[in-house]
Amino acid sequence: MGKQSLHVGFIGLGIMGRSMSRNLHRAGFSITVWNRTASRMEEAKAWGAKIAPSPREVAAQSDVVITMVGDTPDVREVVEGPAGVLAGAQEGLILIDMSTISPDATRQMAARAAEKGVKMLDAPVSGGDVGAREGTLSIMVGGEKETLEKVKPLLEAMGENVVHCGPIGAGQTVKACNQIMCGLNLLGMVEALSFAKKAGVDPETMIQVTTRGAAGSWALANLAPRVVRGDLDPGFSVRFQQKDLRIVLEEADRLDLPLLGTAQVHQLLRSVQAHGGDDDGTQALVRVMENLGRVKVTPHE
Ligand code: NAP
C-alpha cells in the first residue's frame, strides 16, 4: 500500500501514542486520531492530524487502525464498545493493538474482529518513551505474516526492530517474557546495590565493573545509576510494571506454570504501591530493600 493512499487511524495519545503517531505522520502517512481526553488531540491537530469524534469514526475513515491505550479493558472498550473500532470498521480493515495487554484477551478480540472481516495483529513494544520519541522501539508482532507484510512500513516508522513472533497473541506473549526479565533484573539490581552498600563497597564502583560483565542488564546500566543519585522518577512507572506482571501471572496461571521469581517481584512492588509509590519509577523497589535490610542505598535526605 502506498503511503499517501493509506489512511491510518491512531487511538490513544498518551506518553507513547503521541510520539508514535507523530512519527507516522513524519514518515508520510495520513493520520486520523482520537483520544479520550479531548485536549490531548490539540497537539496532534497542530502537526497535521485529522481529529475524529470517536474510535468508530476513526475506523470508518481508515484502512489501518492502531490502538495504544492502557490495560486489557481499555482496549476492549475502544475496540468492542458501542463507539468502538469494530462498530465503524469496513471489511478488510487491519487493526493493530500496540498496548501491552493479555495474550488470551487478544486472541478473543481477534476472533470477534474476524467476524466483521477485520484482520488483527498484536504488536506491543519495548523501548519506553525515549524509543517512542526516537522511533527506535522493538515491536513484537503476533498474527498472520501476510497481514504484517502489508503494514510493515508503518511499524518501521515507529520502531527499528520489528519481529514476527507467531500467530495472534504471540507478540503479547513475547512482551510478557520481556516483562518477566525486566522484573527479575530489577530485583537483582536493587539486591546487589543493597549488598554492596551494607558490605561497605562503593555502589558506583560496583555498577561500573559489573555492567560490562556477565551480570550486565538494562536495569543495571540505566536504573542503578539513578538509584544511587536518589532519582526515583519514572521512566516506567510501578503502576504499569504491576499491570504487566499481573498479565504475566494470569497467563502463567492459565498455563499451570509456577513463576516464583516473577510473583515475588510483583509482591515486593506491591509494598512500593502500599507506600504511595504507584507513580514512581520501577527502581523505587530499592525502598523495599532499604527497609528489609536496614540499609540506605539512596542518598540521605
Ligand atoms: P499513558 O501515558 O497513561 O496513556 C494512556 C492512553 O490511553 C491515553 O491516551 C489514555 O487516554 C488512553 N486510555 C486509557 N484508558 C482508556 C480507555 N478506557 N478508553 C479510551 N482511552 C483510554 O500510557 P502510555 O505510557 O502511553 O502506555 C500506553 C501502552 O503502552 C500501555 O499498554 C503500556 O503498558 C504500554 N507501554 C508503555 C511504555 C512506557 O514506557 N510508557 C513502554 C512500553 C509499553 P486519556 O488521555 O484520556 O487518559
Q: What pLDDT does 4 receive? A: 59
* CA–centroid distance for 40 within its chain: 19
Which residue among the candidates 150, 175, 198, 243 is catalytic per the annotation? 175
How far, in Å, from the CA of 11 to the mean position of ligand 1? Answer: 10
Q: Are 127 and 138 in contact (CB under 8 A)?
A: yes
Radius of gyration of the chain (CA): 21
Instruction: Say how far apart CA 268 and CA 286 lie, in whole Å.
Output: 10
How far, in Å, from the CA of 37 to the mean position of ligand 1? Answer: 12
Q: What pLDDT does 5 receive? A: 72
CATH class as words, domain 7-166: alpha beta
Nearest atom in ligand 1 to 124's CA: 44
40 Cβ inside 6 Å of ligand 1: yes
In the chain, where does the domain assigned CATH 3.40.50.720 lie?
A: 7-166
Q: What Å distances lie between residue 24 and 153, 154, 157, CA to CA?
A: 9, 7, 6
Q: Which regions in the chain score pLDDT beneath 70?
A: 1-4, 301
Residue type, 228: V
11 Cβ inside 6 Å of ligand 1: no
223 Cβ inside 6 Å of ligand 1: no
Specify whether the backbone of 117 is left (phi greater than 0), alpha (psi in -120 to 50) or beta: left
Q: What pLDDT does 3 receive? A: 61
pLDDT in tens, 224-265: 999 999 999 998 999 999 999 999 999 999 999 999 999 999
In the chain, where does the domain assigned CATH 1.10.1040.10 lie?
A: 173-293
Cell of 133: 520519541
Q: What pLDDT does 2 receive? A: 59
CATH 1.10.1040.10, domain 173-293, yes or no: yes
- Other CB atoms within 10 Å distance of the CB of residue 218: 14
Q: What pLDDT does 112 receive? A: 98
Name beta bridge partners: 94: 64, 119
119: annotated active-site residue: no
